[in-house]
Amino acid sequence: MQTLDWNQFDTVLLDMDGTLLDLHFDHHFWMHAVPEAYAYKNHISIRSAKAKIHREIESHAGTLNWYCLDFWSAKLELNIAELKRGFKEEIRVHPEVLDFLAALRRHGKRVVMVTNAHRDSLALKLEMTEIGRYFHTLISAHDLGMPKEDIRIWSEIQRVTPYDPKRTLLIDDNLKALETAQRYGIALPLCATFVSPKLGRIDPQGFAHFESFSEIMPH
């Protein structure tokens, strides 16, 4: 992508999963680990557990429930947060993310995480990585009662940490989130296309985008 003019921005809103962290962890967890635990508990085949759970997951796509560990714990009668904790060693930060976050702070930017991830999932990822200390504020969509797919979230965030949308950059791999942010008036919704070395690139569908944080590093 073209070099970013960092003078245009004083706030950076950052997504977590896929954008800063390797999405393979969550992908593997929901596609394999959860169905396997469900199959074991209910004495059914892994194949039928996968079919049932993948169907359920799809039916809640784009909603807060989709991201809600409590919702899935109740629905599947499994302790999802505890199960997730068992795989925590697999959590990985993308290359150059820590350098990028440090550079944002060095340049005096306000650094705010806005994640659809549940608080338990966020806590686990902060425990296992070094990303947390670079943020001024960390916001879980669950605290606001709506996901980033809901345009109202961008004004709700103003109550937690006021920001000027015209001087704000959002980095996210979620096209629906980029779209609501754009409609709200966030100056630059920027798509992170590299979500995992093990998964395909995101098609940015017309949004400005980058693959490696080295492309947008403030100097």
Site residues (vs Mg ion, CB under 5 A):
15, 17-18, 173
183, 166, 167: which is closest to 175 by C-alpha? Answer: 183
Nearer to Mg ion, 78 or 180 (CB): 180
Q: Which is nearer to Mg ion, 18 or 204 (CB)?
A: 18
User: What is the nearest approach in angstroms of Mg ion to the Cβ of residue 40?
Assistant: 29
Give me the least distance between CB of 64 and Mg ion, in Å please. 14
Task: Find the shortest distance in angstroms from Cβ 19 to Mg ion.
Answer: 5
Q: Which residue has the CB atom at the shortest distance from Mg ion?
A: 18
Pick the closer one to Mg ion by CB: 46 or 199: 199
Q: How far is the CB of 181 from Mg ion (least distance, A)?
A: 13
Q: Which is nearer to Mg ion, 121 or 168 (CB)?
A: 121
